Chains A and B, each alone.
Chain A
Amino acid sequence: MAKISTHMAIGNSALSNRTLPIIKKPESLKTTQIELSEIRHLGKLNIRCASKTRDTVGRLTQCNLSLQPNQSNGKAERIALCLGPDEYLILAEQGSEVQLEKTLNSSDIIKQISVTNVSDALCALSLSGEKVRDLLSKGCAIDLHPDSFSRNQSAQCDLALANVILICLEEDEFICICRTSFAEYVLDWCLDAGFEYGISASAGSD
């Protein structure tokens, strides 16, 4: 029987062809101050809907969508982000996005909204640690001071020239969503920029 390469296997993720964990730190540091890991197989749905259908979409997806652009509903099991006046991104538990998509597609508002499953187009990286804001500030022009970028806020911006969505969950806990094809680039950039603080990257769990 032909051997299936791991790269093709089901359950593959954005950082599958990297050997993880990787730890980068100066010898003078005892521990790492930043933890990076992939949130593997996180379901992601992009939804376009106007304000009149917003509450129905919120009810069907069990998310509170009364959000301003660049705001998220916080550290919930199912995170919703508002990307623009009529655009939302829902981060759903692994596997649940298919059912969510079906529910929305079979609802009677489907002609007024658009639902796109972007689970594999985007990759979610979890970044945490007390130096995480310092790390992100090296490649991101937006003000990441806790006073201006705090819990439940998100931003679509550039991180080291890669287009990302940053979500602030806690003071020192972020999710960085990038294109799957950019995941290794973002990982390498983080490992390089985070060296001085000590950074450990792990594959993450499912």
Chain B
Amino acid sequence: MLKIKCPICGNRDETEFSCGGEAHIARPLVDNKLTDKAFSEYLFMRDNPKGIFLERWCHTSGCRRWFNLARDTISHEIIEVYPIGQMPKTAKGKKSYQANWRRRSKAEAASKPAKRIVK
């Protein structure tokens, strides 16, 4: 069982939480044309790394608030807990963020306004 430190309630048992899967998946903007293949990658494909993974968790039985968590999928060590809408602050967390294939996906590029996409 994991002990997860909810940013609001403090240390609680894993059974009080629900995992919302991979964090930092940006939705492509409707104005940006995207192929079905690129959109399906955004919609269906999830990363499953061996090592540090950035996940969303919700404290379902407690404060019912969402937060992000960087977890080692081998050792289950929790590297850091950080708020929704923010980026990881630890070096390991940042590295995991950059290492994700999604950073180089067409869908993520299309999540920003079109004029900022470098063609």
Interface stretch (choices A107-115, A130-138, A154-162): A154-162
Residue contact A158 to B15, C-beta cutoff 8 Å: yes
* Interface bin, chain A: 10 to 19
Q: Does A84 contact B (CB under 8 A)?
A: yes
Residue contact A83 to B61, C-beta cutoff 8 Å: no
Q: What is the bound-complex CA distance between A69 and B8, given in angstroms? A: 7
Residues of B whose CB lies within 8 Å of any CB of A are 8-9, 12-13, 15-16, 61-65
Residues of A whose CB lies within 8 Å of any CB of B are 69-70, 83-85, 87, 141-142, 155-158, 163
Q: Which residue on A lies nearest to B62, using beta carbons?
A: A156
A184 to chain B, nearest CB (A): 20
Residue contact B62 to A85, C-beta cutoff 8 Å: no
Q: What is the bound-complex CA distance between A84 and B65, given in angstroms? A: 8
Contact A70 to B12, CB < 8 A, known contacts A84-B65, A157-B61? no
Which residues of B are found within 8 Å of A163, using beta-carbon distances? Answer: 61
B85 to chain A, nearest CB (A): 13
Which residues of A are found within 8 Å of B16, using beta-carbon distances? Answer: 141, 157-158
Which residues of A are found within 8 Å of B8, using beta-carbon distances? Answer: 69-70, 84-85
